[in-house]
A and B are shown apart, each in its own frame.
Chain A
Amino acid sequence: MEQQLEQLKQEALQKIEAAASVKELNDVRVAYLGKKGPITDLLKGMGKLPAEERPKMGALVNVVRETVTTTLEEKMELLELQAVNEKLEKETIDITLPGRPVKLGNHHPLTRVVEEIEDFFISMGYEVAEGPEVEQDYYNFEALNLPKGHPARDMQDSFYITEDVLLRTHTSPVQARTMAAKKGESIKIICPGKVYRRDSDDATHSHQFTQIEGLVVGEDIRMSDLKGTLALFAKKMFGEEREIRLRPSFFPFTEPSVEMDISCFKCGGSGCNVCKKTGWIEILGAGMVHPNVLEMAGYDPTVFTGFAFGMGPERIAMLKYGVEDIRHFFTNDMRFISQFNRTEV
């Protein structure tokens, strides 16, 4: 019987070894360990054995059964793993195929520039002020120290609606309106918006373009405050290493008036095609608010002072992104706009 048992074990182990699939192995399990299998038969036949042999034989049968079961389970694990691996192998895909595109639009490049400027000044405590694009001559010119008859008010240069109403030529009337409304209070605003001039559209001119201006009015606002503010702005907008320089200039609504250059962000100041070999790029105009402007808005210029600055997002976008023709901003070619879809940081 022992021999028979040993033979059975060897047979079973061989069949386990030979089983090539989960199904075959299951057949082996049923064949040897099932209710009708030989091991069960052996156990059933134990009753015919003499009583003193039964424990010994019982133990022997159990050992065989456990050996077969363990081996079978191990083999089963192996075969299952193989089966899974085969399945995964079949599921392999070409991961170099392109993914399903996520449909996303993006800001117009001018909005991108405007919001970046807005956000910097908001962080400095400025509010965003807006005003009408069709404006009274008074706010557009007169309140800004450009009295009637001033050469800059030529009808040829502006889009007039009536003699007293025109499409604003700059966003400065928003400053005038804000001052008139806030009589006597301190002001810190940034004014973005569309402006219009009677120009023929070409690579560098557009009858409609964008401006963003800033105004600070308070007691004891100094020119050094203007310079410090602009220096911080230049670093934020064009890079930490940027230096600024102020050059005297002229605007009717500021005195003194300056133009601000930044050290070239392309070459760092050594001279290149962006800065026209000068190392400096003109970015904005600024100045101390002209006393006449303060006075007309009801501020006492002996108590209040202020500074103002203004710049063109088109010019900044053209410089930053190397855009060569201002008309691109208004053509709305998808191939142009869709390029401004990512961070620059």
Chain B
Amino acid sequence: MYVSTKWLENYVDTKGIAPADLAEKITRAGIEVDTIIDRSEGLTNIVVGHVESCEKHPEADKLNICQVNVGEETVQIICGAPNVAAGQNIIAALPGAKLPGGMKIKKAKLRGEVSNGMICSLQELGVEGKTVAKAYAEGIYVLPADAKPGTDALSLLGLDDVILEFDLTPNRADALSMLGVAYEVGAILSQDVKLPTIEYTASNEKAEDVLTLKVEAKEDNPMYIAKVVKNVKVAESPLWLQNYLMAAGVRPHNNVVDITNFVLLEYGQPLHAFDYDRLETKEIVVRRAVEGEKMTTLDDVERTLHADQLVITNGKEPVALAGVMGGANSEVHDGTTTVVIESAYFASASVRKTSKDVGLRSDASTRFEKGVDPNRVAEAAERAAQLMAELAGGEVLAGAVQFDELDKESVRIILSPDYVNQRLGMKIPMDEMVSILERLQIPVEAANGQLIVDAPTRRQDLRIKEDLIEEIARLYGYDEIPMTLPIGESVPGGLNSFQEKRRLVRRYMESAGLYQAITYSLTSRAESQSFALETAPVTELLMPMSEDRSVLRQSLLPHLLDATTYNVARRIDTVSLYETGSVFLGTQEDGLPKEVGHVAAVITGKWVDHAWQQENKKVDFFVMKGIVEGLMDTLGLTGKVTYAKATHDGLHPGRTADILLNGVVVGVLGQLHPSEQKKRDLKETYVTEMNLALLLAESAEALVYEQVPRYPSMSRDIALVVSKDEAAGSLMDIIQEAGGKLLKDVTVFDLYEGDKVDEGMKSLAFSLTYFDAERTLTDEEVVTRHDKVLAALKEKSGAVLRG
């Protein structure tokens, strides 16, 4: 909404307040002023000129030599506009003039002829092209015949104006009109609002004598008024009216159309003007459209209508799409003499739907959608009739043709000052509350310690006590609200154990060298189940914006791998990312998918990279396994977790493991399948994904201090030759079992596969640590135990000691 402060001045006194200050006050009171547009900014030395003569330039086809009376003198100005002509009053920018954008006018010679200035179009004065009347859109602007040469053209054009652009919240539809803004500004400045006086002499003839009305769709159209104005002379509107429209961003057409637009802006009530004679039937019928019915709207587009759309008809065919746009067949034109003014109340839902279906949003439809003031429907029609009499020489027929079943009652709200103060945490006196509501022109009565308020219908956002609390508070000033904290029992805040452990997981992953990524939950159908630990029916959007974002993910890995590829493509060779987030599985009883928290990670490139000391190490399976093991340790789950060789789609068949918690698979870790690596333009890449919900639901092993050793431990190293297929893990299990309580620890310290062992064999070396917390072990004890271990190894795996 563009609010011309010059126009606003007609309804409320804002003298002495700078527009910027006014804007600040309005913003602080609740309507955000987005921008302040000073229309005269940068404009100087621009006057009315009268073109005495206009002749073709001898040296240039497109230029004219004009002798222009600019008041005190007549000067020669060269003008290239196609529509310049002798006898016109025009806008002359004289030497020294400044135009928007910094252009300066100087005396100049054009093809040998002196030019003492420039004849201007409105666009050259900074007026937006789409608001300039079509007649002048492509050339200079022609001023009315009574303009006086030499006088200031800016004030004549209403450009000595500042416009405030409002960014309205949906509840403040009342401010979609100059009067509504006047009420708001009046309340802020404690000023009265001056409403327009509507006076005209009606003809003896009655509207109902020439027009009948039938409303068949009462719910969508509870009120319809038609007034008839005869003997109208369609012409250009007076300049002041055109200026106001342009200031509001509306293009002037002719006096009849301009008046309907002016009243729309003034009252917030959309009007429509029909050419009475073109209606042909002397009848208006409001009904739902017949499915498939066709009509051509004002913009010359033929539209096929649907049965839920409301139309105005002449009893035979549609003449307007109710509240959205008029029809071409009944449009007011230069030869129109009798006009039907329509002022109606169309239900917001109906207009919203129609306007959306046909893809047309207009100043009218916007206002109907938000709800117009039931008590101003009739008044707006009268205001338009008055202006047509005054400005178009029309003869207004007495009365109106109308249908009216509209509820126009105001809403009564009773509240106590205590209620207001209690909710605000303030102590505003009752008198002050009354005074604020009165400033807002909201009828209020104070009785028995209660405020009895009748919320006016122009303020449809005022329905309940809280709405009035807001009115009182915002005008009293939010700055006046004290700062307190909630009283009452204070409870400790905090994270639940899942949230706390999820933070722990994130911190661990970061301390392990991984950066946290956040990727999109929506993915393509093709990728939605890739790498999923568990698949279930996918959750798909009804109306996706693209195939790439149409289905919710069931694994975090595809997008994490995309991010990895993105980085590698930018020559970041080492990438280490992890993400915690939800995957979406199937549909539960409540219609929602099961959302399961996951954690996933991707690594590629060098894990150790300290070049000048020649320390470099590529990522491998065991780097990722180490990260997972560290995570399990951090979560206190090491003793409950095992790893099992596994195969998964998209992963290397020989380098993939399932991660099991208490024997149940909770995740996977492995190398990306080489074909998958190739497809994604990645080198050796390792991934893991785990069901975080399952991991975090498991309680950590009890953390009980274990005595720091007081007695020495003894180590024995063994190197075993075993078949290549033999898993180190099973050998360690055998050692653990046979070693019993005395075996404190077993670690792998060498793996050898080469010439020095037989084909198909490998050598694995373990270091075993024996220890007793209570005493120093004797050699014999350790030897006995160690021999048992060796025997068990030989028996269970055929392992022999490497010679």
Contact = CB atoms under 8 A, between A and B. Distances in A.
Interface in B586-641: 590-593, 595, 607-610, 612-613, 615
Contact of B509 (A105, A155, A196, A220): A105
Nearest to A194: B521
B592 A135 contact: yes
B422 A122 contact: no
B60 interface: no
A330 B516 contact: no
A338 B574 CA distance: 13
Contacts of B615: 100
A247 interface: yes
B317 interface: no
A86 interface: no
Nearest to B461: A250
B563 interface: yes
A101 B617 CA distance: 13
B485 A255 contact: no
Interface string A90-115: 00000001101101111110110001
Interface in A187-245: 188, 194, 196, 198, 200, 207-208, 216, 218-225, 227-229, 231-232, 245
Contacts of A108: 515-518
Nearest to B577: A332
A177 to B, nearest CB: 11
A221 B486 contact: yes
Given A208-B521, A247-B32, A334 B486 contact: no
A208 B522 contact: yes
Given A155-B543, A224-B481, A246-B478, A133 B595 contact: yes
Given A105-B513, A132-B592, A337-B516, A222 B424 contact: yes
Chain B, interface residues (CB within 8 Å), range: 35 or more
Interface string A257-291: 11000000000000000000000000000001011
A245 B567 contact: no
Nearest to A110: B518
A45 interface: no
A130 B27 CA distance: 35
B549 A207 contact: yes
B481 A246 contact: yes
Interface residues of A, number: 85
B485 A305 contact: no
A126 B542 contact: no
B493 interface: yes
Nearest to B567: A334
B48 interface: no
B727 interface: no
Interface string B517-538: 1111110000000000000000
A335 B573 CA distance: 12
B511 interface: yes
Interface in B490-521: 490-496, 499, 503, 506, 509-521
Interface stretch (B231-239, B381-389, B466-474): B466-474
A207 B522 contact: yes
Contact of A132 (B484, B489, B520, B595): B595
Contact of A224 (B425, B489, B493, B494): B425
Given A231-B483, A331-B563, A332-B566, A105 B369 contact: no
B488 A219 contact: yes
B450 interface: no
A288 B466 CA distance: 9
Interface stretch (B166-174, B682-690, B764-772): B166-174
A297 to B, nearest CB: 16
Contact of B518 (A219, A228, A332): A332
A4 interface: no
A249 B509 CA distance: 42
A175 to B, nearest CB: 16
Contacts of A14: none
Contacts of A127: 493-496
A2 B81 CA distance: 134
B710 interface: no
Interface in A152-167: 152, 155-156, 159-162, 164-165, 167
B115 interface: no
B492 A223 contact: no
A149 B513 contact: no
Given A132-B595, A134-B592, A136-B591, A223 B473 contact: yes
Given A111-B516, A161-B542, A220 B422 contact: yes
A222 B591 contact: no
B582 interface: yes
A110 B369 CA distance: 38
B520 A330 contact: yes
A333 interface: yes
A330 B493 contact: no
Contacts of A338: 515
A257 B510 CA distance: 40
Interface of B: 27-30, 32, 169-172, 349, 352, 369, 422-426, 464, 466-467, 469-470, 473-474, 478-479, 481-496, 499, 503, 506, 509-522, 539-545, 549, 552, 560, 563, 566-567, 570, 572, 575-578, 581-582, 584, 590-593, 595, 607-610, 612-613, 615
Given A100-B610, A288-B423, A333-B566, 16 more contacts: A104-B511, A104-B513, A133-B521, A133-B595, A135-B592, A155-B542, A188-B491, A223-B426, A223-B473, A225-B486, A228-B482, A255-B466, A256-B474, A329-B518, A332-B517, A338-B515
17 contacts: A103-B607, A105-B511, A108-B517, A111-B518, A125-B491, A130-B499, A161-B539, A165-B592, A207-B520, A220-B487, A220-B488, A224-B426, A225-B425, A227-B483, A250-B169, A291-B464, A330-B520
**Closest 6 A/B residue pairs (Cβ):** A224-B425, A248-B30, A222-B425, A256-B470, A250-B169, A103-B513
